[in-house]
Amino acid sequence: MAARASAADVKSVLLLYADPRAVPAVVTMDSTLRATIGSGSPVAVRFHSEYLDLAWFPRAQERDIGRALRYKYVGAKFDLVVACGESALRFALRERARIFPGVPVVFCTVEDERLQGIRLPPDVTGVTTFRDWAAAVDLIVKLHPDTRQIVCVSGAGAVELGWEALARKALARYEGRLTFTYLGGLPVAEIVAAVRALREGSVVLFNVFLLDGAGRTFSSPEALALVAPAPVPMYGLAETQLGHGIVGGIVVSYAEQARRASQLALRILGGERLGPADAVRRVPNAYVFDARQLARWRIPEGVLPSESVVKFRGRSVWSEYRWHVVAMLALVTAQSLLVAGLLAERRQRRRVRARLDERLRFETLLADLAAAFVGVPVGEIDMRIEHGLDRIVHELGLDRAGLGEFTGGLDELRLTHVRAREGLAAMPGVFTREAWPWSLERLGAGHLVCFSRLAELPAEALIDRASYVALSTKSIVIIPVVAGGVVIGGLGCSMVRHERDWPDELVQRLRLLADTFAVILLRRRADTALEESEGRFRLMADAAPVMIWVADPDGRRVDFNRAWLRFAGRTLGQEVGHGWLESVHPDDREGCMSAILAALAVQRPFTLEYRLRRADGAYHVEGTFRGYVGSAVDISEVKAAQRTVVESLALRSAIFGSLYGLVTAVDRSGVIVAVNESWTRALADNGGDVGTAGVGANYFQVCHRAAVSGDPGAAAALDAMQSVLKAATDRALLEYACPSPAGEAWYAMIVEPFRRPEGGLVIAHVDVTRRRRAEADLLREREGLAHALRVATLGELATTLAHEINQPLAAIASNAQAAQRLLASAAVDPEVPEMLGDIRTDAQRAAQIIRRLRVLFKKEDSERQPVDVGEVIKEVLGLLRKELERRRIEVEVAMHPATPRVLGDIVQLQQVVLNVLVNAAEAMTDDDARRRLHIDMAAREAGVLRLTIRDSGLGVAVAELERIFDRFVTSKPEGLGMGLSISRSIIEAHGGRIWATRNPDRGLTIHVELPCLES
């Protein structure tokens, strides 16, 4: 307690007890008073206890006790006196003027009726008891209906005999119905003999017993121990008698008396003035019983008053071995929880393993499907597609799967490839709009067609429902096959044996398969178009009346038309490559080949004349042979398109995997459709579960769970993703901190729309820890530079500051010496208090200067708090007062009332004002001109505080107004040129701005604007 308050705040309380310390009631009240007052007081309380023992010793000794206490507590100052018992209260009232004059008194355990004979001063209050003799007799008669005699046992002390008188008065109304015998004032031996002689029909009512008629002293438990082997039940009126032989009764609670008195004491110690009117009269008593005595006298608990408390019940196994039972139950519970946890973990691991196996099988299926079509001739594509559908049916547990293409617009979906389990009927070859209008409408618009049971179909799909029933279809999902943003077909998966759910993860996998089939269909279309084009070219070339040949980029001829072969009389196999040269005249072969190769080298058209042997062996007919014109068709674009289609899957995977950072793509509902290698690697390194953050998982739900658990970054990420998804913004960027074993890491989250018909988002998490650390290092260096500049500025003012501190110190010394001389004289001069006041004022002035210097010299981390800029200006002006006086500078300050505060670092703002004022003072060096410094501060507009500092110095040129805030720009030979630069950095860091303007006459004005705290 002493640690909570200084010695000056300690409260002193004197506890006066009328009875000896060994009395149980005194022990109960003392512990309760100390605990309740000590815990309830806001300051420390020191207790002093005195036991008057007035019941055991003659009253003639009271004055000696009072004299002893007066000497014991001479000079002591009490804040409160608590008197416990009627004798203690009378003693306190009689001796208070000599021992503790004027100290408030709180009393307790004083019988209410006896208090009426005591005159209480206005500062005395307390708590009274009420021994309810009538209620005690009523209880005895209720529990023992055959009671004829009640024997009242009490001590021979004055207080005890007074209580016996109250009992006689209260029980007089029972005369005639019951016989009362009072044994007060007798020696204890006679009382014991009288009680042991009692017979059935008698009950003992035991009161306080501290002194017997022979002058022997007892405590109530000691007296009860002598009387307790009584042949009749005994009842009492005090709670402390319980457990010593009495059955129970309506008893006085000494603990409750002490608690009520403590509440009054705390109010007085808290400063309230209480008197007799505030006394708590007749604190309610309680029905309390001893379970052992109830059992002895065969009194059932059911006949006791409803509010009764029964103590000393027999100890059960639970009460005897409670902690052993609790420990055993806890051990069994812990083992059960451990076993349950291990079983749950095993089930979870099995589920994860099954999910991973399923995912691996699907990815293998996807990879095999994509690889199966690389370099495959056109004629084998259909067979490979059916083989792929067959694997999809068996590995995904489907009944039927089909791939269809739209023909004739979007009104007809022709199933080009269909596979079904053995024994099941295949799907129809064509889906028409007449039979499936709702399904084809949704599929043509690029939407999913999906239901797990026919009842899920909407009302507008009534025709479709009948068509599905005709096919025995119970569940189906049809994924649109999209190529180049256009729906070209659909991938359908259905169940006929039973219904099936289509979870989002499975649907996403089917979308990937549909994308793969889209590429395959495009390639088949391209190859088919190429074959058709080549067929048309062959037909055209063979029908042409000229001889046509085709060569590859190396000049090797790969094809000839029918006219050429008929003219030369040779087969295509003989002519391809360089075989055609055999028909060229030997004299023309070398020149012909050289001309062709030269033209091919620069890829230019050429005309060539040479002699070609006819089928009959002649080289010319009817004149000079002029040669032939060869035609070639460029098919490089067709071949390039074919290669592009084949390589599109690998190219898409390579591009996505090479993206920087942790990248994922999600659909509009948040389901992850693709991740790059960095995402997968980071997930594995951090022990993540692919089921919760891999392809097929819902990224929105992952962020939502993190936000619910209290992660503010997750909530911000959700808002950013929803903003881009709803097209409220084209791009979102936010940064968040992420703890890691190597320290705190920072990431930038970039969210952009996934530009595809289905929509979605592309999300990248980029590590920006280096940049954030570099920014923190730059901030620390800037604060260190600002601190160095403050120290340098204060160093330049050292002489002035030393004089400023020395002046009040000299005044203190002078006044102290004068006060010593005056105090040394016989009479005290009235000027001494005035001198001491001057010493105090000068000491405060010196301390204020030192405090200001200490604040500016300290190097601490920047801390933002509400700042009164007016107080900042006053602090700096107080520090520069002597320097400004030395330079003969007049200072005018205009600060408007109720100027709003700003949120900032007070030391940094002091440095800005100090830099500007020192620069202004150094600029005013003209001895002839009047040196004036004007400071104005006001809220010029809503949410902005403006500070202007105008000097009458030399000023600067217009061209230099902006440069003075640059680093290392100064007009002083010894200056660093950093003051205004740092000032601008500080103001901009506070969200404000600083600039300079030339005055109309002379000098410069510095303007500073800062956002107000309210904005």
- With b for 16 or more beta-carbon neighbours within 10 A and e for fewer, the 356-389 pattern comes to eeebeebeebbeebbebbeebeeeebeeebebbb
Asked whether 875 and 917 are in contact (CB, 8 A), the reply is: no
pLDDT mean across residues, the chain: 81
Q: Within 157-276, where are the H helices? A: 158-171, 188-196, 220-227, 254-269
> Which tokens go with 567?
């003219």
Q: Which string of DSSP letters, residue by residue, matches 807-847? A: HHHHHHHHHHHHHHHHHHSSSPPTHHHHHHHHHHHHHHHHH
Residue-wise pLDDT tens digits, 330-342: 888 888 888 888 8
The pLDDT value given to residue 851: 56
Whole-angstrom distance, CA of residue 539 vs CA of residue 426: 40
Q: Which residues contact 594 (CB under 8 A, 6 or more apart)?
A: none
Whole-angstrom distance, CA of residue 616 vs CA of residue 687: 83
The pLDDT value given to residue 234: 94
Amino acid at residue number 95? E
Is a pLDDT exceeding 60 seen at residue 7?
A: no
Read off the pLDDT band of 561 (50, 70, 90).
confident
Place of tokens 């600083």: 994
Is a pLDDT exceeding 90 seen at residue 270?
A: yes
Is a pLDDT exceeding 50 seen at residue 774?
A: yes
Q: For strand 400-406 and strand 486-495, is the pairing parallel, antiparallel, or unpaired? A: antiparallel
Please compute Rg for the chain using Cα positions: 54
Is a pLDDT exceeding 90 seen at residue 147?
A: yes
Read off the pLDDT band of 776 (50, 70, 90).
low
The pLDDT value given to residue 8: 58
Torsion of CA 921, 922, 924, 928, to 10 degrees: 120
Whole-angstrom distance, CA of residue 658 vs CA of residue 655: 5
The pLDDT value given to residue 806: 53
Instruction: For residues 850-861, give the mean pLDDT.
Output: 53
End-to-end CA distance of the chain: 46
Going by C-alpha positions, the residue among 213, 194, 211 that lies closest to residue 149 is 194
> Which tokens go with 798?
């050292």
The pLDDT value given to residue 397: 86
From residue 847, how far is each of 801, 809, 816, 914 by CA, in Å? Answer: 13, 10, 17, 20
Whole-angstrom distance, CA of residue 407 vs CA of residue 402: 16
The pLDDT value given to residue 1007: 92
Asked whether 972 and 922 are in contact (CB, 8 A), the reply is: yes
Percent of the chain exceeding pLDDT 70 equals: 80
Instruction: For residues 818-826, give the mean pLDDT.
Output: 62
Going by C-alpha positions, the residue among 413, 412, 416, 384 that lies closest to residue 401 is 416
> Which tokens go with 882?
């002597």
Instruction: For residues 714-737, give the mean pLDDT.
Output: 85
- With b for 16 or more beta-carbon neighbours within 10 A and e for fewer, the 572-584 pattern comes to eeebbeebbbebb
Instruction: For residues 760-786, give the mean pLDDT.
Output: 71
Instruction: For residues 486-513, give the mean pLDDT.
Output: 87
Going by C-alpha positions, the residue among 413, 293, 366, 668 that lies closest to residue 520 is 366
Asked whether 581 and 556 are in contact (CB, 8 A), the reply is: no
Phi first, then psi: what are they for 865, rounded to 5°?
A: -155, 165
Most confidently modeled range among 244-258, 744-758, 853-867: 244-258
Asked whether 584 and 612 are in contact (CB, 8 A), the reply is: yes
- Give the H/E segment covering residue 854: helix 831-857
Percent of the chain exceeding pLDDT 90 equals: 23
Instruction: For residues 766-774, give the mean pLDDT.
Output: 74
Read off the pLDDT band of 938 (50, 70, 90).
confident
Whole-angstrom distance, CA of residue 126 vs CA of residue 293: 35
> Which tokens go with 551?
């060569």
The pLDDT value given to residue 547: 81
Read off the pLDDT band of 837 (50, 70, 90).
low
pTM of the model: 0.37
Residue-wise pLDDT tens digits, 859-902: 555 678 898 888 888 888 887 887 888 888 889 988 887 788 88
Instruction: For residues 762-788, give the mean pLDDT.
Output: 69
Is a pLDDT exceeding 80 seen at residue 149?
A: yes
Is a pLDDT exceeding 80 seen at residue 686?
A: no
The pLDDT value given to residue 775: 65
Q: Which residues pair with 106 in a beta bridge?
A: 82, 125
Residue-wise pLDDT tens digits, 352-380: 887 777 777 777 777 777 666 666 677 77
Q: For strand 234-236 and strand 202-206, is the pairing parallel, antiparallel, or unpaired? A: parallel
Q: Which of 49-58, 531-540, 634-643 has the lowest mean pLDDT?
A: 634-643
> Which tokens go with 988?
């901009």
Chain CA centroid to CA 989, Å = 27
Angle between helix 158-171 and helix 133-143 axes, rounded to 10 deg: 60
Asked whether 21 and 54 are in contact (CB, 8 A), the reply is: no
Q: Output the CA angle 681-687-693, nearest 5 degrees.
A: 70
Q: Which string of DSSP letters, residue by residue, matches 972-1012? A: STT--S-HHHHHHHHHHHTT-EEEEEE-SSSSEEEEEEEEB
Read off the pLDDT band of 825 (50, 70, 90).
low
Of residues 422 and 134, more confidence is placed in: 134
The pLDDT value given to residue 780: 64
Is a pLDDT exceeding 70 seen at residue 858?
A: no
Q: How many CA atoms lie within 13 A of 310 on its CB side?
A: 15
Is a pLDDT exceeding 70 seen at residue 206?
A: yes
Q: Which of 406-415, 820-829, 1005-1014 has the lowest mean pLDDT?
A: 820-829
Q: Within 153-251, where are the H helices? A: 158-171, 188-196, 220-227
Read off the pLDDT band of 605 (50, 70, 90).
confident
CB neighbours (10 Å) of residue 635?
A: 15
Whole-angstrom distance, CA of residue 77 vs CA of residue 464: 101
Which domains are seen in the chain, by residue range? Answer: 2-127 (3.40.50.2300), 132-251+285-311 (3.40.50.2300), 372-529 (3.30.450.40), 547-630 (3.30.450.20), 659-767 (3.30.450.20), 779-1011 (3.30.565.10)
The pLDDT value given to residue 854: 56
C-beta contacts of 874-878 below 8 A and 24+ residues apart? 875/910, 876/910, 876/913, 876/914, 876/917, 877/917, 878/848, 878/849, 878/852
Three-state SS at 267:
helix
Phi first, then psi: what are they for 406, rounded to 5°?
A: -75, 135
Q: Which string of DSSP letters, residue by residue, matches 613-648? A: --TTS-S-SSS------------HHHHHHHHHHHHH
Angle between helix 62-72 and helix 86-99 axes, rounded to 10 deg: 50
